[in-house]
């Protein structure tokens, strides 16, 4: 059967959206493919439809449990036999999913990148050659794979020995990120589709405030005057709760969403927002992936994210129905210092890492191993001692592990944080990689600063960042004739 016929008969769409058909025909022909489609561009169809036609199981690598659960529900609504494997499931539930996999009673299986290295899963996959391996939100390979989820860098190794094509999908990837994704996933001459990043219905604005504390009251006033549902992003859990209380005090129906809330509460907040019972969700960046609410009329950022990739992803959740929507943010000069401190913790300078590596090696001695509960370890980390006791010094150890200086073994809980039980000191750390990651992080932060403080059209700045040519003067940002100073955060047009 032709893919267009399946699209019409089983998915109920009259025609493909731009880019979908080329990607689908590529994987049906056994080719690897990379698709950069806009938010709301129908990325899920690109693996759902092949799952209906290829006959075997399609394995989808997905970043979040909540997103996987949502994807499973949508796939089942289309008649696809769909399951997910997640750590939150009971052992009996996971065993049942693996039995369905081994007995070929699955069309779609959603897993996290970490699941690909689990022995029981790899054992089950040995006798089941997948028909397709899809990587959803593939930009996470570059955005997260070098930092706190190294399993993203290992996805490419999972495909070795398998004949299945690999399909990488994302809504935001610069040319450099696209190259990184192709290299990391070991894509073989992939069919590449990059749709325009322009969202003509979105209006953009960034308000500069003199001091960090001067943004809450303007935010509340604009949300109060805005029309329709919206999302407000804040950088920390405390900031989320502070904004939510102010919005509620102004008579606005608002709820909080962050990782500190129980899963059941987060699910109920998301459900009420999707149903329209709650008008505004105030959230950290934990809220967003898989939020398929078409009528979000505004997305506001209390602080700009540290990368334009994150900003575009989050702001792009507005106006998925094509109707006018507004994206606005606040920025103070001090924000750059906050971003710089984050980079210093995540990607320390090479000299600092070499110093720490040397101290750990002297402490470990000939055994080249070191227990993470060793009372000498905080002293070895020097100025990290206070952060270590709060659980935050794991960043510097993660940086050493990332470049191959150490390897963690086993896990334990320390100050409520899961950490390696033992560290093994390795030879030949990749100091070039540490410098590369630090320079990349600093360049991304500088790009955010240029968007917030530079001159010229906001929209065109974003388009150029993602490698797309843009003409001057969009007419739909605060630099091109739209008077955002009126306090009306949604245009009349």
Residues 6+ apart with CB under 8 A from 150: 401, 402
Percent of the chain with pLDDT over 70: 89
Contacts of 319 (CB under 8 A, 6+ apart): 199, 201, 202, 296, 297, 325
Mean pLDDT, rounded, for 426-434: 88
Give the mean model confidence (pLDDT) for residues 146-155.
72
Rounded to the nearest integer, the mean pLDDT of the chain is 85
Mean pLDDT of 442-446: 91
- Both tokens of 273, joined, read 């927002």
Query: For the chain, first and last CA: distance in Å?
Result: 43
Alpha carbons 122 and 115: distance in angstroms, whole number: 9
d(CA 491, CA 318): 13
> Per-residue pLDDT for 386 more than 60?
no
Closest CA to 489 of 277, 232, 200, 234: 232
Q: Which of 31-40, 356-365, 382-391, 446-455 has the lowest mean pLDDT?
A: 382-391
| Pair 121, 94: CB distance under 8 Å | no
Give the pTM: 0.80
| 435: number of Cβ within 10 Å | 15
Evaluate if residue 487 carries a pLDDT over 50. Answer: no
Residue 34 has a pLDDT of: 95
Mean per-residue pLDDT, 330-334: 89
The residue ranking higher by pLDDT, 142 or 392, is 142
pLDDT digits (tens, 9 = 90+) for 194-236: 988 888 899 999 998 887 678 999 999 999 999 899 999 998 8
Q: pLDDT value at position 394?
A: 64
The answer on pLDDT for 79 being more than 50 is yes
Strand partners, 166: 133
The residues with which 35 forms a beta bridge, in sequence order, are: 169, 193
Ranking 4-8, 174-178, 387-391 by mean pLDDT, the lowest is 387-391
**In the block, residue with structure tokens 């600092």:** 352
Task: Kindly tell me if the per-residue pLDDT of 334 is higher than 80.
Answer: yes
Question: How many angstroms separate the CA atoms of 406 and 122, rounded?
Answer: 25
User: How far is 201 from 320, CA to CA, in rounded Å?
Assistant: 9
> Could you tell me the residue ranges of all domains in the chain?
19-194, 202-332+457-486, 346-435
Query: Could you please report the per-residue DSSP string of 277-328?
Result: S-SEEEE-TTS-TT---TTEEEEEESS--SSHHHHHHHHTTS-TTSS-EEEE
Q: How far is CA 455 from CA 192, 198, 212, 458, 466, in A?
A: 33, 19, 21, 8, 18
DSSP 5-51: HHIIIII--SSPPTTHHHHHHHHHTT--EEEE--TTS-TTHHHHHHH
pLDDT of residue 229: 95
Tokens standing for residue 383: 């100025």
Q: How many CB atoms lie within 10 A of CB 368?
A: 14
The residues, any chain, with a CB within 8 Å of residue 96's CB and separated by 6 or more, are none
Judge whether residue 162 has pLDDT over 60.
yes
The topology under which CATH files domain 202-332+457-486 is Rossmann fold (3.40.50)
Decide whether 19-194 matches 202-332+457-486 in CATH topology: yes
Pick the CATH number of 19-194 from 3.30.470.20, 3.90.1640.10, 3.40.50.720, 3.40.50.300: 3.40.50.300
Confidence class for position 11, pLDDT limits 50, 70, 90: confident
Contact 28, 165 (CB under 8 A): no
Distance set, CA 341 to CA 207, 347, 369 (Å): 23, 10, 30
What pLDDT does 414 receive?
Answer: 52
pLDDT at 290: 62
Quick one: pLDDT band at residue 59, thresholds 50, 70, 90? very high
Q: In 3D, which of 323, 55, 33 has the Cα closest to residue 178?
A: 33
Span 252-271, pLDDT tens digits: 999 999 988 888 898 899 88
Per-residue CA distances from 395 to 201, 258, 378, 381, 410 (Å): 40, 21, 13, 12, 18
Residue whose pair of structure tokens reads 């529900």 in the numeric block: 73
Q: Is the pLDDT of residue 486 over 50?
A: no
Residue 200's contacts (CB-CB under 8 Å, 6 or more residues apart) are 476
pLDDT at 445: 92
pLDDT of residue 340: 86
pLDDT tops 80 at residue 400: yes
Of 25-29, 186-190, 209-213, which range is least confident? 209-213
Write out pLDDT tens, residues 92-117: 988 899 999 988 899 999 998 888 88
**Mean pLDDT on 306-328:** 91
Q: Any residues with CB less than 8 A from the CB of 268 and at least 6 apart, and which?
A: none
| 3-class DSSP assignment, residue 184 | helix
Phi, psi at residue 83, to the nearest 5°?
A: -145, 170
Per-residue pLDDT band at 54 (split at 50, 70, 90): very high
Residue 198 to residues 309, 468, 470: CA-CA distances in angstroms? 14, 9, 9
In angstroms, the CA 7 to CA 329 distance is: 39
Adjacent-strand bridge partners of 334:
none
């Amino acid at each position: 059967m032709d893919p267009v016929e399946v699209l019409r008969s089983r998915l109920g769409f009259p025609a493909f959206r731009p880019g979908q058909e080329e990607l689908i025909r590529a994987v049906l022909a056994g080719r690897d493919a990379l698709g950069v489609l806009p938010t709301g561009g129908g990325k899920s169809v690109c693996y759902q439809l092949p799952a209906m036609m290829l006959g075997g199981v399609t394995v989808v690598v997905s970043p979040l449990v909540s997103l996987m659960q949502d994807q499973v529900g949508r796939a089942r609504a289309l008649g696809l036999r769909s399951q997910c494997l997640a750590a939150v499931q009971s052992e009996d539930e996971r065993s049942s999913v693996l039995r369905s996999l081994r007995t070929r009673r699955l069309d779609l299986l959603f897993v996290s990148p970490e699941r690909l290295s689990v022995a029981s899963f790899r054992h089950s996959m040995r006798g089941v050659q997948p028909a397709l391996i899809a990587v959803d939100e593939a930009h996470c390979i570059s955005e997260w794979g070098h930092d706190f989820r190294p399993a993203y860098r290992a996805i490419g190794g999972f495909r070795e020995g398998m004949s299945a094509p690999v399909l990488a999908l994302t809504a935001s990837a610069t040319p450099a990120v696209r190259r990184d994704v192709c290299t990391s996933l070991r894509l073989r001459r992939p069919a590449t589709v990059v749709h325009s990043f322009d969202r003509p219905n979105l209006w953009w604005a960034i308000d500069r405030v003199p001091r960090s504390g001067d943004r809450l009251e303007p935010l509340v006033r604009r949300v109060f005057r805005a029309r329709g549902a919206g999302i407000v992003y804040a950088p920390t859990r405390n900031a989320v709760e502070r904004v939510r209380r102010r919005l509620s005090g102004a008579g606005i129906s608002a709820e909080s969403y962050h990782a500190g809330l129980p899963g059941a509460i987060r699910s109920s907040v998301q459900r009420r927002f999707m149903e329209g019972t709650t008008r505004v969700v105030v959230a950290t960046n934990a809220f967003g992936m898989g939020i398929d609410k078409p009528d979000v009329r505004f997305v506001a950022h209390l602080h700009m994210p540290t990368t334009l990739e994150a900003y575009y992803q989050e702001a792009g959740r507005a106006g998925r129905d094509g109707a006018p929507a507004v994206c606005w943010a606040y920025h103070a000069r001090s924000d750059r210092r906050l971003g710089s401190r984050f980079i210093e913790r995540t990607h320390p300078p090479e000299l600092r890492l070499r110093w720490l590596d040397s101290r750990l090696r002297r402490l470990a001695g000939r055994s080249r191993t070191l227990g993470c509960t060793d009372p000498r370890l905080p002293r070895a980390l020097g100025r990290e001692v206070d952060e270590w006791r709060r659980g935050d010094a794991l960043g510097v150890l993660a940086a050493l592990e990332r470049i191959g200086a150490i390897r963690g073994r086993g896990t334990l809980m320390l100050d409520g944080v899961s950490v390696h039980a033992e560290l093994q000191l390795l030879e030949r750390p990749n100091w070039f990689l540490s410098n590369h990651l630090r320079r990349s992080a600093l360049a991304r932060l500088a790009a955010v600063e240029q968007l917030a403080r530079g001159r010229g059209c906001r929209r065109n700045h974003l388009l150029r960042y993602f490698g797309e040519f843009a003409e001057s003067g969009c007419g739909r940002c605060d630099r091109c004739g739209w008077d955002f100073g009126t306090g009306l955060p949604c245009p009349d047009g």
